[in-house]
Chains A and B, each alone.
Chain A
Amino acid sequence: MSGNLRTLSEKVWDSHLVHEEAGAPALIYIDLHLVHEVTSPQAFSGLRERGLKVRRPDLTVATVDHSIPTSDRSLPIMDPIAAAQVNKLEQNCKDFGIPCYGVHSSHQGIVHVIGPELGLTQPGMTVVCGDSHTATHGAFGALAFGIGTSEVENVLASQCLLQRPSKTFKVQVNGTLKAGVSAKDIILNLISQIGIGGGTGTVLEYAGPAISALNMEERMTVCNMSIEGGARAGMIAPDDTTFQYLNGRQFAPKGADWDAALARWRQLPSDAGAVFDREITINGDSLAPMITWGTNPGMGVSINDAVPDPASVSDPLERESLTKALAYMGLEGGKPIVGHPIDVVFIGSCTNSRISDLRIAAGILKGRKVSPNVRVMVVPGSMEVKRQAIAEGLPDIFRAAGADWREPGCSMCIAMNGDQLKPGEYSVSTSNRNFEGRQGKGGRTFLASPMTAAASALTGLVTDVRTLLSGDKS
């Protein structure tokens, strides 16, 4: 702290303090609570056991995303356990008066895709959800973080949470991204530097020219993976890009309310000279497309670099974890990953399933065919994304290329709904986690950008998208 100079996250924190007393964390108010089928049923059961109501259904919204199939929605859900969970959410929402964008809603989608696209997510808000990728909403200058089911119950009952303030961690990204390099590569690069526990106890604030130049969907991609660096939240100061995105959206303020909100939002960016507990600088000019090779999102390299060699690691524990990761992945240390054969390409997830992601993938696949060795799934993030994609003719491009165009949901990012890798299969995936078995038991995941995923779909090999872009200055 230096005088009254505050960072973005400190401003949002301060304006949500409900109650402070000695010997307890602060009680903070929650402006928006997003609910989905997987982490909420036990919370609703808790409310019933205590005889409590939902305090603010008008600040709460639900959708189904994790366990629903991405196949034909006119058919019933075949998995009876998943069907029961989806029905449970819809019933709970009915019983407690919460709006729910259910299976057949025209607004259904991944919770972190629909919040922003409906204009529900706004600058300066506190946003929570029983999902660690809630950090996504930080792209709007909201303090947004994932919570467990006990906390879901607390927020349903009281609209408040007991929290301790986090430390602040500034991620300055300078320069200009080169062709073939995207927002996904910024965040994968950061996590490869700080490691998956590197941001524990902090809120990240992404800043600098390379961040300001990103559109809102790209900013969401960056903030989305803050948790993969251990930070519960990641934020970007709201600016004209943010305001233009929000203006006119369904739940965004209108008329005089818009003007008042805009005046508040313009006060949010970190004060010049505000001190962060920690800072790191990334040179955007020198970033290359990134890809992960291991079993956590911090195990990533520039696409043409070699995978680390356990023989060159001196720390025995680190060497052991490296050896274990390489064994699971079936890779040899010290060799490059580019050119490695793959079985599946997944384009989707709360990280990369928005319309701009699909446009980029379609741009690469247009007029080409995916490798016959590869199964390619394209899963839009929401019904709205799907409608827009159809309006632009993208599904036809994907189908003509040999890719499978699906219904919205989390799909193979979390592999709860039957969309999954078979044991031993390799995917290039635009999702956010490459943990063992994350995309299906025994499955092996290379995390990358939509550009890298689309390029790899064409060749059936891990591919540097820049080799396709050269000579084609688009």
Chain B
Amino acid sequence: MKPFLPFESRLVPISANNIDTDQIIPARFLKTTSKEGLDKQLFCDWRYDAEGNPKPDFILNTPRAKGAEILLAGDNFGCGSSREHAPWALTQFGFRAVISTSFADIFKGNALKNSLLPIVVPADVHAKLFAEPEDAKVQVDLASQTITLPDGQKVQFPVDEFSKSCLLDGVDELGWILKRQASIAIFEAARPGTVNTLA
């Protein structure tokens, strides 16, 4: 993973609340065994008509989305399944952050592991962002945990310390866990036997 650096971007607003992972990437695309090539399937059923042609009025098909790195979404973004294909598809399209008032737990965890920053903002800031003009840009700085709105207002957002350091350093969790193998071995030696799936 690359270190997560500050950036500035236009917003891609999708106002619907409770956008579930079946909308972010429908299940029929989960038969892949790779992480790649999912950007075309992002929001597929909202993005293309029955013949597979892009719907011109859907935001991802408009010039506004081109090169944009921030998705602005309604409440409880990412509810539903545990599919990590959702953050994979979002990052492959080019998104580096999603701004909402709340995120579903599993999606949030998956996003943080893929350098996609879930940014929770208060309802008034959320509403203000939706009212911004098309070319308005927002700055995202993870180190200071702030976004800077087009009018210069700075808004703090929460992120847990551990995920933040992983993102800033561009490292993943597994390396950290594997350095604690001695603790794991001690725990294993003391735990009661539960099942043996190989038996």
Question: Which residues of chain A have a CB within 8 Å of any CB of chain B?
Answer: 18-19, 23-25, 27, 29, 31-32, 38-39, 41-42, 45-46, 50, 52, 55, 57-61, 66-67, 79, 81-82, 84-85, 88, 97-99, 119-120, 122, 125, 130-132, 146-151, 153-154, 157-160, 162, 164, 196-197, 200-201, 227, 230, 232, 251, 257, 260-261, 264, 296, 317, 320-321, 324, 414-416, 423, 433, 435-438, 441
Shortest CB-to-CB span from A112 to chain B, Å, is 13
Q: For residue A200, which residue of chain B has the nearest CB?
A: B105
Pick the contact of A197 from B102, B173, B174, B193 — CB < 8 Å?
B102
Q: Which residues of A contact B109 (CB under 8 A)?
A: 147-148, 151
Stretch at the interface among B29-37, B53-61, B140-148, B150-158: B29-37
Q: For residue B187, which residue of chain A has the nearest CB?
A: A18
Tell me if A25 and B187 are in contact (CB < 8 A). Answer: no
Q: For residue A296, which residue of chain B has the nearest CB?
A: B18
Q: Which residues of B contact A39 (CB under 8 A)?
A: 30, 82-84
Asked if B131 lies at the interface with its beta carbon under 8 angstroms from chain A, I say no
* Distance, CA A422 to CA B160, complexed state (A): 43
Tell me if B187 and A81 are in contact (CB < 8 A). Answer: no
Tell me if A154 and B30 are in contact (CB < 8 A). Answer: no
Pick the contact of A81 from B23, B31, B79, B193 — CB < 8 Å?
B31
Q: For residue B114, which residue of chain A has the nearest CB?
A: A150
Q: Which residues of A contact B176 (CB under 8 A)?
A: 24, 162
Residue of A67, A120, A158 ringed by the most chain B CB atoms within 10 A: A158
Asked if B192 lies at the interface with its beta carbon under 8 angstroms from chain A, I say yes
Tell me if B34 and A42 are in contact (CB < 8 A). Answer: yes
Size category of the B interface is 35 or more
Asked if B161 lies at the interface with its beta carbon under 8 angstroms from chain A, I say yes
* Distance, CA A436 to CA B108, complexed state (A): 21
Pick the contact of A27 from B15, B31, B102, B180 — CB < 8 Å?
B180
Tell me if B104 and A200 are in contact (CB < 8 A). Answer: yes
Q: Which residues of A contact B195 (CB under 8 A)?
A: 31-32, 58-59, 119-120, 122, 251
Pick the contact of A149 from B23, B27, B84, B184 — CB < 8 Å?
B84
Q: Which residues of A contact B32 (CB under 8 A)?
A: 81, 85
Tell me if B27 and A416 are in contact (CB < 8 A). Answer: yes
Tell me if B84 and A58 are in contact (CB < 8 A). Answer: no
Tell me if B110 and A41 are in contact (CB < 8 A). Answer: no
Q: Which residues of B contact A162 (CB under 8 A)?
A: 162, 173, 176-177
Shortest CB-to-CB span from B191 to chain A, Å, is 7
**8 Å CB interface, B75-128 against A:** 75-76, 79-84, 102, 104-106, 109-110, 113-114
Q: For residue A198, which residue of chain B has the nearest CB?
A: B76
Shortest CB-to-CB span from B57 to chain A, Å, is 15
Known: A57-B197, A66-B30, A435-B20. 20 other contacts (CB 8 A): A18-B187, A19-B183, A19-B184, A24-B162, A29-B184, A29-B187, A38-B31, A81-B31, A148-B83, A150-B113, A154-B173, A157-B174, A201-B105, A232-B106, A257-B193, A320-B15, A423-B50, A433-B80, A436-B22, A437-B26
CB-defined A-B contacts under 8 Å, sample of 6:
A29-B187, A38-B83, A59-B195, A150-B113, A414-B27, A415-B27
Tell me if A58 and B198 are in contact (CB < 8 A). Answer: yes
* Distance, CA A32 to CA B196, complexed state (A): 9
Tell me if A200 and B198 are in contact (CB < 8 A). Answer: no
Asked if B74 lies at the interface with its beta carbon under 8 angstroms from chain A, I say yes
Tell me if A438 and B27 are in contact (CB < 8 A). Answer: yes
Asked if B132 lies at the interface with its beta carbon under 8 angstroms from chain A, I say no
Asked if B45 lies at the interface with its beta carbon under 8 angstroms from chain A, I say yes
Shortest CB-to-CB span from A83 to chain B, Å, is 9
Q: Which residues of B contact A52 (CB under 8 A)?
A: 178
Shortest CB-to-CB span from A176 to chain B, Å, is 32
Tell me if B180 and A197 are in contact (CB < 8 A). Answer: no
Residue of B18, B110, B178, B196 ringed by the most chain A CB atoms within 10 A: B18
* Distance, CA A150 to CA B87, complexed state (A): 11
Residue of A132, A146, A260, A296 ringed by the most chain B CB atoms within 10 A: A132
* Distance, CA A23 to CA B166, complexed state (A): 11
Tell me if A157 and B178 are in contact (CB < 8 A). Answer: yes
Asked if B188 lies at the interface with its beta carbon under 8 angstroms from chain A, I say yes
* Distance, CA A60 to CA B23, complexed state (A): 31
* Distance, CA A392 to CA B45, complexed state (A): 42
Q: For residue A129, which residue of chain B has the nearest CB?
A: B82
Asked if B39 lies at the interface with its beta carbon under 8 angstroms from chain A, I say no
Residue of B15, B28, B113, B191 ringed by the most chain A CB atoms within 10 A: B28
Asked if B17 lies at the interface with its beta carbon under 8 angstroms from chain A, I say yes
Q: A232-B105, A436-B22 are in contact. Are A61 and B160 (CB under 8 A)?
A: no
Pick the contact of B197 from A61, A66, A84, A85 — CB < 8 Å?
A61
Q: Which residues of A contact B197 (CB under 8 A)?
A: 32, 57-61, 98-99, 120, 251
Shortest CB-to-CB span from B20 to chain A, Å, is 5
Shortest CB-to-CB span from B107 to chain A, Å, is 8
Residue of A57, A131, A437 ringed by the most chain B CB atoms within 10 A: A437
* Distance, CA A59 to CA B74, complexed state (A): 39
Shortest CB-to-CB span from A375 to chain B, Å, is 20
Tell me if B192 and A42 are in contact (CB < 8 A). Answer: no
Shortest CB-to-CB span from A389 to chain B, Å, is 26
Q: A148-B84, A158-B184, A196-B79 are in contact. Are A132 and B31 (CB under 8 A)?
A: no
Shortest CB-to-CB span from B72 to chain A, Å, is 14
Q: For residue A62, which residue of chain B has the nearest CB?
A: B197
